[in-house]
Structure 1
Amino acid sequence: MQQAKAILANTALLNALQLLVHQAGEAIMQVYHTDDFGIETKKDDSPVTKADLDAHYLLIDGLAKLTPNIAIVSEEDPASQAVPQKHNCYWLIDPLDGTKEFINRNGQFTVNLALIENNIPSFGLVSTPIDQTLYWGGKHLGAWRLRDHTLEQLHTQTCHVPMRVVASKSHLNEATRNFIASLGETTLVQAGSSLKLLRIAEGEADIYPRLAPTCEWDTAAAQAVLEGAGGKVTQVDGSPMKYGKTDILNPHFVASS
């Protein structure tokens, strides 16, 4: 957490990182307003667009200048996944989280930038390009949201009755339905990409069970923000999430207030 504290204490660096994530969002929106997204299919059968790649190059170039001593792992650079085996501190980025949402033009996509220290996300920055809202924070460091020039500190809320469950229609598998059923009376909150975790940080939801595949870059930045707001993200058995694994896939997890 030493680097995360140093970033928050360095106003100029924090502002530069916020601007960088904002610029990545602007690059994404430039593609969003065109007719050709340049959609291709990656080896894992997931889609990638010109927006993913434009944001990727902007972020890695900017981070290399701002923090030249910190290595970078990006979803759009498969070779970079070897970085955690040699570095215990590195940036983990998802240049465009929610590519399918982007393609569907529903606005539910984000830019994710996380700092990983000793296998945990110590600091996270998340931008929502559609409205350029910015979230940042980390465990024991607090969490903030900048929206429409208004800065607010974020705090999770005590659980509501009925419990507000974040769930995605596209990932509402049988295991997730059974988990939700075990909670008793609930209402569903819809959100895409890392916005699911942020809804809990904002006090707009109580719990998010994820019993379907995700990758480390999908969750790290928003996990840091949620933890800064007072929430938590654990594996289903209650054990901590671990980052920098040889396998980039996350275990099933539960995020909560």
Structure 2
Amino acid sequence: MIADPRLLAACTEAARSAGEAILHLVERGFAVEAKADRSPVTECDRAAEAIILEALRTAAPGVPVIAEEEVAAGRIPAHGATFFLVDPLDGTKEFVRGGADYTVNIGLVVDGAPVLGVVHQPATATGWSGLVGHGAWRDDPAGRRAISVRPLGETRAAVASKSHFNQATADYLERAIGLCDHVAVGSSLKFCVVAEGAADIYPRLSPTSEWDTAAGHAVLLAAGGRCDGPDAAPLAYGKPAFLNRGFVATGGWPAPSVAPFLPDFTRG
């Protein structure tokens, strides 16, 4: 099987190298552009993506890579059941504002499920990695440690998006686990917070792209968690336009479906 510890190590190194390139450009200064969908993009996104694409060509030759900026440029490779999903700079809005909650994401999908993932946070030199069936880890300046989700107890906490928390999300959380504290975090870091046992649930009630979620989703699965789509089945990959309509990630316990709380335009 292609998903093995050697590939995980190669992806981890690729994400770190991409993060170093981002930090170098931050120090030098960079311009911000707008894509066709009006979302921001910078040369940092493109530089990081180029590094990752080259690394994956070497580490896993022949495996298609669906990468955010490549897709934005209209370059979508033909793919079957096995492919990478790459977001070279997740959380660009936070990044442009000077925040630290942005990540480099590399995920491998096999038969619709994420099986390997690397999430790297350049600003803090911290990374999370996971290989389903083998385990999940956190790497930071203090060293490496294995991580795992926590059981759902009486004291409960949620993690939610900095920019997408709304009344519908609050209503869903009250239904899912009762009144609880929540912490707002950007990018795919939300998956990692649940994966390392610092929160119980992460609901997303608005659309995201699959490259936003595959890496963090894999880390969460490897740590013992789960992530379900609006149909209450495991969130699958390779959907039309690589679009997630919504999902709920937990520390391994089944949460109520997010479907009744989604905006009308995402329910179809």
Normalised by the length of structure 2, the TM-score is 0.88
Give the AA of the match of 1:176. Answer: T
Partner-residue secondary structure (3-state), 2:190: helix
Give the AA of the match of 1:239. Answer: A
> Does the Cα contact within 8 Å between 1:161 and 1:186 map onto a contact in 2?
no
Partner-residue secondary structure (3-state), 1:130: helix
Give the AA of the match of 1:3. Answer: I
* 1:68 maps to which of 34, 43, 61: 61
User: 2:206 and 2:19 mapped to 1: Cα distance?
Assistant: 27
What residue is the counterpart of 1:253 in the other structure? Answer: 247
Give the AA of the match of 2:26. Answer: Y
Give the AA of the match of 1:141. Answer: H
Structure 1 portions without partners, runs of 5+: none
> Does the Cα contact within 8 Å between 2:8 and 2:129 map onto a contact in 1?
no
Partner-residue secondary structure (3-state), 1:190: strand
What residue is the counterpart of 2:169 in the other structure? Answer: 176
What residue is the counterpart of 1:3 in the other structure? Answer: 2
What residue is the counterpart of 2:91 in the other structure? Answer: 98
User: 1:210 and 1:231 mapped to 2: Cα distance?
Assistant: 16
- 1:96 deviates by 0.3
> Does the Cα contact within 8 Å between 1:168 and 1:191 map onto a contact in 2?
yes
Give the AA of the match of 1:30. Answer: H
What residue is the counterpart of 2:194 in the other structure? Answer: 200
Matched, 1:50 2:43: yes
- 1:149 deviates by 4.9
Change (3 A) 1:17 1:138: closer
Give the AA of the match of 2:2. Answer: Q
> Does the Cα contact within 8 Å between 2:8 and 2:117 map onto a contact in 1?
no
What residue is the counterpart of 2:138 in the other structure? Answer: 145
User: 1:95 and 1:169 mapped to 2: Cα distance?
Assistant: 20
User: 2:128 and 2:78 mapped to 1: Cα distance?
Assistant: 26
Partner-residue secondary structure (3-state), 2:243: coil
* 2:232 maps to which of 232, 235, 238: 238
Identity across matched positions, percent: 39
- 1:180 deviates by 2.0
Give the AA of the match of 1:243. Answer: Y
Give the AA of the match of 1:201. Answer: A
- 1:246 deviates by 2.0
Structure 2 portions without partners, runs of 5+: 252-268
User: 1:171 and 1:14 mapped to 2: Cα distance?
Assistant: 31
* 2:150 maps to which of 119, 135, 157: 157
Partner-residue secondary structure (3-state), 1:56: helix
- 1:65 deviates by 2.0
- 1:146 deviates by 1.3
